[in-house]
Amino acid sequence: MTVEELRALLAAIERHPELRDELRRYVLTQELLALPAAFLRQEQRLDRVESELADLREVVRALAGSSERHEEELRALRELVQRQDERLAHIEGWLERLTALSERHEQWLARHDERFEQLTSLLAKQDERLAHLERLAQQHAEWLARHDERFEQLAALAQQHAAWLARHDERFEQLAALAQKHEEWLARHDERFEQLAASAQRHEEWLERLTRLSEQHEEELRALRSLVTKHDDDLTQLRQTVGSLSEAVGTLIEADAVDALLDLLEAKGITAEEVPTSIAVNGELDVVAPVVDPSGRRYWVVVEVKLKLHPRDIRNWHRKLQSSTFRERLAQFGIQPPFVAYIYGQRIYRPVLETARQLGLGVLARRGEYVPPAGFVE
């Protein structure tokens, strides 16, 4: 084909787009034709991941605000419980003083009852003496009927008896005055007893208010326990939600890392003997694959996977590769040196590239290889 013919062909392709598509079908492979669609899918997947991460941040901020409000409510409830305890301690002191006062009242009533019994006994003795006097008077009347001749003697005896009766009347007046004093004392005692009854009524009303206050305190404590239990349930649900979202994000990033590794191997003409798999080493999510290069050399490709890639992640990955413990964990999965080490990041910060070049590690992203590895890790 001459230059003029080639130019004529190119002009025809420019005029007819169907010729351009036909020429592209013959010149490009199916894999290259599928690259734009694959890039578009990866772009859409990253957009979805970033949207889900933004939603996750909003949820976490909202839960953090809710947790702070719960902490404030808990502090307020603790202060309320402390005040209630102080009030209960004050009430217990009042109850102790009331108990002591009631004991003193009971002792005073016991002494009053004893004195009342003594007065009752004295009145009974006076009644006996009056009855005895009546019997003596009856005997004396009989004696006067039988002994008229001894009238003079009886008259003298009557005078003596009159004097004795005068003394008896005086004693009876004294007893009446004592009885009047006793009546007044009983009236004062009844008044004091009414005061004590009123005080006891007030005490009972006060105890009822204390009982209602204690019941209200118990209800507040039950509400506090319910609120604390609900707060613990919310925190548990939050941890479960964050764990599920982290697992989902990790799964998406792992899938992106596998796709990026397969695209890189295919671009370099390296064949993956097995589908790349993930292993958990020291709590990190990694991707490994046994490969064969065009010269026939077999080795392993080990990829550390991160969501965001910082320089410290490069240094940590380099230290891990030099760790004998990490090598032993890899050996448990049948992964032996030499192997090529990459670190994959969904978002890569610029200082990462220089750190990776200095340490000889490869940097891989969904758009391809950012930094090639310096060589094999022996």
Quick: pLDDT tens for 9-67.
888 888 888 887 777 777 666 666 666 677 788 888 888 888 888 888 888 888 888 88
At residue 248 the predicted structure's pLDDT band, cuts being 50, 70 and 90, is low
Contact 262, 274 (CB under 8 A): no
Contact 364, 370 (CB under 8 A): yes
H/E element holding 296?
none
Most confidently modeled range among 100-104, 158-162, 239-243, 265-269: 265-269
Residue ranges per structural domain of the chain: 82-234, 268-378
- 213, HSE (Cβ side, Cα atoms, 13 Å): 13
Write down the pLDDT at residue 140: 65
Q: Is the pLDDT of residue 75 over 80?
A: yes
Per-residue pLDDT band for 261 (boundaries 50, 70, 90) equals: confident
What integer pLDDT is reported at residue 73 of this predicted model? 84
268-378: in CATH 3.40.1350: yes
- State the number of CA atoms in the 13 A half-sphere of 28 facing the CB: 13
pLDDT at 212: 81
pLDDT for 19: 80
